[in-house]
Amino acid sequence: MTRHPTDHPQFYLTAPAPCPYLEGRQERKVFTHLIGQHASALNDVLTQGGFRRSQNIAYRPACEDCKACVSVRVRVRDFVWTKSFRRHLKLGQELVGARLPASPSAEQYDLFRSYLLARHETGGMAEMSVLDYAMMIEDTHVETMVIEYRRRGPDSFLTGAGEGPLMGVALTDQLADGLSMVYSFYDPDVSGLSLGTFMILDHIQRARQMGLPYVYLGYWVDGSPKMAYKARFQPQEQLGPNGWAISSPDK
């Protein structure tokens, strides 16, 4: 029987490019395509091996002289709900996250642009057009969802959705062993709710309810201030040369 060619994925290496996290360094990535009927299974295996997904591409750093990028995942069952996290969760109780198909909208894109202009104006995604955004959301062959966060309304307990303006969005893959937060963004003008932290906490709760052991947060980058927040969510595992191991909470 002839098997689909994606049973044997081909891997490629990018040319050196400026590192988006550490000034003065160069990055290289190894990547492959996530397409066809086995894309979800391949995404599971590669995510467990330290890859991240972007559209129908799975990639991981392959820098020769730098190992700063480390894959991290939160241990859901053992997660430590500190006083700070409980406070964030309580503040976010006025929000409802509705799980939706991976479909873009004009409202999402407007929020995405506001977020980038406020938080990542000089980043590589700053010039993304509405078409680029649509591709980021819907160009996928794996099990993906969009979670839209809005304020809780009087009918939210019936509809499972919030009401009013869109306040946050998470593009999330459902894996065999967890939820992988591919990309998230939120209203930069909302104060007092710590929306970025709340969305991670909400994913930890969702994974626990679904019986999934992990929430994958992507890369923690040693020396990058904008990635330092990921170390707060403990206990977490980091992927090293000998596999996944519990990290030190003081990082």
Q: Retrieve residue 79's tokens.
A: 């997660």
Q: Retrieve residue 2's tokens.
A: 């002839």
How are the residues of the chain apportioned to helix, strand and coil, as percentages rounded to the nearest 5? 30, 30, 40
| DSSP string across 157-213 | HHHS--EEEEEEEEEEEE-SSEEEEEEEEE-TT--SS-HHHHHHHHHHHHHHHTT--
Low-confidence ranges of the chain (pLDDT < 50): 1-6, 251
Q: CA 154, CA 21: separation in Å to the nearest integer?
A: 43
Residue type, 79: F
| DSSP string across 58-93 | EEEE--SS---EEEEEEETTT----HHHHHHHHHGG
Provide the pairing of β-strand 95-101 with 163-174: unpaired
Any residues with CB less than 8 A from the CB of 233 and at least 6 apart, and which?
74, 79, 200, 204, 215, 217
pLDDT tens for 130-157 read 999 999 999 999 999 999 999 988 887 7
What single DSSP character describes residue 15?
P
Could you tell me how far CA 219 lies from the centroid of its own chain? Answer: 10
Q: Retrieve residue 103's tokens.
A: 């479909």
Q: CATH 3.40.630.30 residue ranges in the chain?
A: 73-246
Q: Which fold has domain 73-246?
A: Aminopeptidase (3.40.630)
Total-model pTM: 0.92
pLDDT value of position 2 = 36
pLDDT value of position 120 = 67
Burial (CB < 10 A; 0-12, 13-18, 19+), residue 122, is exposed
Say if CB 98 and CB 167 are below 8 A apart.
no
Q: Retrieve residue 199's tokens.
A: 């969305």
Q: CA 196, CA 193: separation in Å to the nearest integer?
A: 9
Phi and psi at 153, nearest 5°, equal -115, 175
pLDDT value of position 159 = 78
pLDDT value of position 160 = 76
pLDDT value of position 249 = 52
Any residues with CB less than 8 A from the CB of 135 and at least 6 apart, and which?
55
pLDDT value of position 124 = 65
pLDDT value of position 8 = 78
